[in-house]
Amino acid sequence: MNLKFAAAGVAAVLALSGCQRTSSDYGSSSLPPLQAQPVTPVQAGQLAPPTADSSQFPAAPATNQQASLTPNASAPASAMDFTKEQLVGNWKVANGGASCDMFLTLTNLGSGSRGGTRGCAGPLTAMGSWEVGNKQLMLKDRDGNVIATLYKAADNRFSGSSSNGQPISLSR
């Protein structure tokens, strides 16, 4: 019987010996410590004047619809008055032959109100907010850029154009 206890004791000692650590395993490294490196000082001075060569900059995008997408531009004479509250809710959108849904809320987002689209194409896929001013509804992307401008044409109907020049209308 003593042999069984001795064998069990040896097995326990061997099992626990794998859990021991020696102080020489930690705190020593075969790599020397890193040395601090000098840093070149920051220089101050004037930049060279710009050159007349503008080829280093991309050309500005063509904006054939810029006048119709200018925020707070004067509305056409046929534009009807409306309030923000009249716009809240779901709208059907017709945009260049395609249709989709738009949702307008009064939840503040930047300088406008939160809005969004579902199933739309083109610039309307990035719609994030909307704003009202000077008888116009301005739809904006998530960065605050105007992507469409519309005017009230009739009860529950708005018409205008998107930033890519496509006609756009809202109805319900």
Residues 73-113 pLDDT 10s: 567 777 889 999 999 999 999 987 889 999 999 998 777 89
- The pLDDT value recorded for residue 139 is 94
The verdict on residue 165 lying in a domain is yes
Contact 151/79 with Cβ under 8 angstroms?
Answer: yes
The answer on pLDDT for 115 being more than 60 is yes
13 domain residue, yes or no = no
* 3-state DSSP assignment of residue 124: helix
Q: Is residue 167 part of a domain?
A: yes
Selected residue with higher pLDDT from 118 and 38: 118
* Residue 106 belongs to some domain of the structure: yes
- CA distance linking residue 54 with residue 52, whole number of Å: 6
Per-residue pLDDT band for 34 (boundaries 50, 70, 90) equals confident
- Region of poorest pLDDT, from 8-22, 72-86, 104-118, 129-143: 8-22
Instruction: Establish if 53 belongs to a structural domain.
Output: no
Which among 151, 126, 164, 142 has a CA at the least distance from the CA of 72? Answer: 151
For the chain, the domain total comes to 1
Is residue 70 one of the residues assigned to a domain?
Answer: no
Residue 117 lies in a domain: yes
Domain span holding position 147: 78-171
Task: Name which residue leads in pLDDT, 156 or 73.
Answer: 156
Q: Is residue 114 part of a domain?
A: yes
C-alpha–C-alpha distance, residues 97 and 168, integer Å: 9
Residue 84: give its domain's CATH number.
2.40.128.10
In the block, residue with structure tokens 């716009």: 87
Among 162, 6, 152, which Cα is nearest to 79's? 152
Q: Per the structure block, which two tokens stand in for 128?
A: 């994030």
For residue 109, what are its two tokens? 């987002």
* 3-class secondary structure, 67: helix
What value does the mean pLDDT take over residues 122-136?
91
With a cut of 60, say whether residue 163 has pLDDT above it: yes
The pLDDT score that the predictor gives to residue 170 is 95
pLDDT at 44 over 60: yes
